A and B are shown apart, each in its own frame.
Chain A
Amino acid sequence: MSTTSPGSTGTAAAPAPVARPVEGAVLLREIQQLGITHVITVPDTHQKTLLELLAAAARPRLLTVCTEDEAIAINAGLYIGGQRPMLLIQNNGLLASINALKAIALEARVPTFFLVGQFARDVTRSNAESPVRAVRMVEPTMATWGVPCYPIEGPEDVPAIARAYRQCLEERGPAVALLGAPTS
C-alpha cells in the first residue's frame, strides 16, 4: 500500500524493493573463493554484469553452451574428470532442464550447483506473489523434486551461495541459488 503525507504533491511513493541487487564483483569473488573451475552458462539477462566479469576473468573458465540440458551434462563430465564446475542460467532454463536434472543430478548423483536469475521478477514483490509463472513456480517446482533452493534476495544472502555449493558436494546432488534482483 502506498501513502501520501500531508502537504505532499500527491505522488505515490515507489514500493520498496523486496529483492536488492548484488554486485557482480561480489558474486565473482564468491565463486572464485569456492574454487570453481568452470562456469557453464546459457546466458541470463539477470546476471549480465557477472557474465561480463566472468568473460574477462582469468578464472574460472566461462563456457557458453546452447541448452541447459547440455550444461548439466557438461557439468557432470567436468566433475567426474576432477574439476569444480557450476551452472549460471535463468529460471526459464532451469524449468526447461528438468529431465536432465532428474537423470544426472538426482539419479546419477552428480553435484550440480545452479546460480539462477529470476528473469522477469518484479523486485517489489516476493517470488511467491509474482504474476510471472517462471518466477513464481521455480521454488515449488524444485521443492517437488527435492532440490534445495537458496534465495539470494540481497547482499546479506551471498553466504548462502557457499552453503548451497557445499551441500551439492556433500550430498552429491543439485542445489539452486536463486538470484532475486539483477546484478549490479
Chain B
Amino acid sequence: MQREEAIAALAAVRDGALSVATMQTVLAWHEAGQAATDHVDNMGCMGTASALGLGLALAQPDRRVMVLDGDGSLLMQLGSLVTIAGAAPPNYYHFVFDNGLYETTGNQPLPARVDFCGLARSAGYRDAVSFDRADALREALPGIFASEGPILVRLAIAREDGPIRWPRVKMADQVVALKERLATQP
C-alpha cells in the first residue's frame, strides 16, 4: 500500500486521538490536515516517538494516543516495545510504517527485515496486526480502536523515491501548544 493510503485511513478514524509522528510520516500527517491540533512531531531524535507517545498516554489516560512510527526508527529504540508493554496503557496504538528502508538518508536497506508483530507480541503488547492493503486496513481500524491497547499495527508500505521534505513547524512550538490545549481542554 502507499503511505498516503495508510495515512488517509488513519486520519479517517482518528476522532480526537492525540498523535505523535516521526520521520517520513511527519509531512504526510501534516498534509493530511492532522497536525494542526492534538499533535506533536518527534523531531531530531530518531527512535523516541514511541516513548513520547507512551508519556502522553500515561498522562492522558482518557485520550487515545496514536504513534506513527517508522521501521528504522523503532529499531533504534526496540526496547521501547518492552517499556510500553510493561506500562500497558490501554489507550496506546502504535502504527509502524514498514518498507525495510532508511528513507530520509536515501533508501538504504535496514540491517534485516524483522517481524514487528512478533516482536510486539513477545514484548507483551495486547495485540499486533499487519496490513499490506489499504482496504483491509480501513475495514479493521474501527475494531482496533475499539480494543484496548497497547496494540501494534504494522503497515507494509511501498518504497518512495521523491525528495525529502519537512514541514516548517518547530517541535518546541508544538510542545507549548499541545500542553496548553490539554490543560484547558482535557
Measuring CB to CB, which residues of chain A are less than 8 angstroms from any residue of chain B? 38, 63-67, 69-83, 85, 99-100, 102-104, 107-110
Q: How many residues of chain B are within 8 Å of chain A by beta carbon?
A: 37
Determine whether the beta carbon of B45 is less than 8 Å from that of A69: yes
Determine whether the beta carbon of A73 is less than 8 Å from that of B83: no
Determine whether the beta carbon of A110 is less than 8 Å from that of B42: no
Please give me the residue from chain A that is nearest to B183 by CB atom: A82
Report the minimal beta-carbon distance from A100 to chain B, rounded to whole angstroms. Answer: 5
Within 8 Å by CB of B51, from A64, A70, A99, A102, lies: A70
Determine whether the beta carbon of A107 is less than 8 Å from that of B171: yes
Q: How far is the CA of A71 from the CA of B87 in the complex (A)?
A: 13
9 extra interface residue pairs, beta carbon distance < 8 Å, beyond A78-B59, A107-B171: A63-B58, A67-B77, A67-B80, A69-B51, A77-B55, A82-B60, A83-B55, A83-B58, A104-B44
Within 8 Å by CB of A108, from B60, B86, B171, B183, lies: B171
Report the minimal beta-carbon distance from B94 to chain A, rounded to whole angstroms. Answer: 13
Q: How far is the CA of A80 from the CA of B183 in the complex (A)?
A: 9
Kindly state whether residue B90 has any CB partner on chain A within 8 Å: no
Within 8 Å by CB of B53, from A63, A77, A83, lies: A77
Determine whether the beta carbon of A65 is less than 8 Å from that of B182: no
Determine whether the beta carbon of B79 is less than 8 Å from that of A103: no
Q: How far is the CA of A102 from the CA of B80 in the complex (A)?
A: 19
